[in-house]
Amino acid sequence: METAERTDLKEKIKRAAFSMFCQRGIKSVSMDDIAQHLAMSKKTLYKWFKNKDEVVYEATADYLCCVQHDCEGYIEQAQNAIDELFQVMALTKQVFSQTHPSIFHDLQKYHHDSWQLWLQHKNSFMLQKVKANIIRGMREGLYRKDLNVDIMARMRLAILELPFNAEVFPPHEYEIKQVQLAVLEHYMLGMATLKGHKLINEYKQITEEE
């Protein structure tokens, strides 16, 4: 019982810390802030994590695991490749409406191991899923047959972090969520056949009416 309670406490710390990172950016959240938010002493916090870098790593790992699980679920229930992308759009809205613009910058600059964890997720799990979606769409006649699957998939991943680039999209002028959705829509329309365009317009009308 004691072990389970202590494990629950560690999970609670990771969830709370990640929520704070998303709201305020990673750099601006200290171990003091996390302890104060959870109404616990820093001594208790350091029983579970030797430093902030470890908190960031474990919280990021847990989050990416949840994202992968959710993504698998969306793909499994999608009726076609375009429906799959609209399901991803819904997840994107949820994720990026809660994410601070500096989060990728903070990961890359201050938390090397966590950044590598993100890159591994992107270049392995996500690359595989994007390629599978393109192949599915080509098979269903929704995407053009002349697409280079590898190039298109890697291009998609390359622009994934673009909305978080403050030099291109200053956060005081653009909402990350809107930029991300616009980029995804542009990517989708560029691949679509006439049949695919018609289906995209149908899905857009449905989502806009919701």
Task: Report how many domains make up the chain.
Answer: 1
Around Cβ 61, how many Cβ atoms within 10 Å?
Answer: 15
Take residue 135 and report the two structure tokens written for it.
């192949």
User: Which pLDDT value is given to residue 165?
Assistant: 87
Closest CA to 142 of 202, 100, 98, 77: 202
Return phi, psi of residue 30, to 5°: -100, 170
User: Which pLDDT value is given to residue 5?
Assistant: 54
Please tell me the total number of residues recorded for the chain in this structure.
210
User: Which pLDDT value is given to residue 135?
Assistant: 98
Evaluated on CA atoms 22, 103, 67, 209, the torsion sign reads positive
- Residue reference for tokens 């969306």: 74
User: Which pLDDT value is given to residue 188?
Assistant: 93
User: Which pLDDT value is given to residue 210?
Assistant: 45
Q: Which amino acid is at 166?
A: A
Reading the chain (210 residues) residue by residue, the pLDDT tens digits are: 445 556 789 999 999 999 999 999 999 999 999 999 999 999 999 999 999 999 999 999 999 999 899 889 989 999 999 999 988 878 777 777 778 888 888 999 999 999 999 999 999 999 999 999 999 999 999 999 999 999 999 999 988 888 888 899 998 899 888 888 888 889 999 999 999 999 999 988 865 554
Residue 56 CA to residue 53 CA, distance in Å, equals: 5
- Residue reference for tokens 């991803």: 88
The packing angle between helices 127-139 and 149-158, to 10°, is 130
Helix, strand counts (H, E) of the chain: 11, 0
Using DSSP, state whether 194 is helix, strand or coil: helix
Around Cβ 169, how many Cβ atoms within 10 Å?
Answer: 18
- Single pTM value for the model: 0.85
Identify the CATH number of the domain in which residue 146 sits: 1.10.357.10
Give the domain range for residue 37: 2-209
Residue 210 CA to residue 203 CA, distance in Å, equals: 11
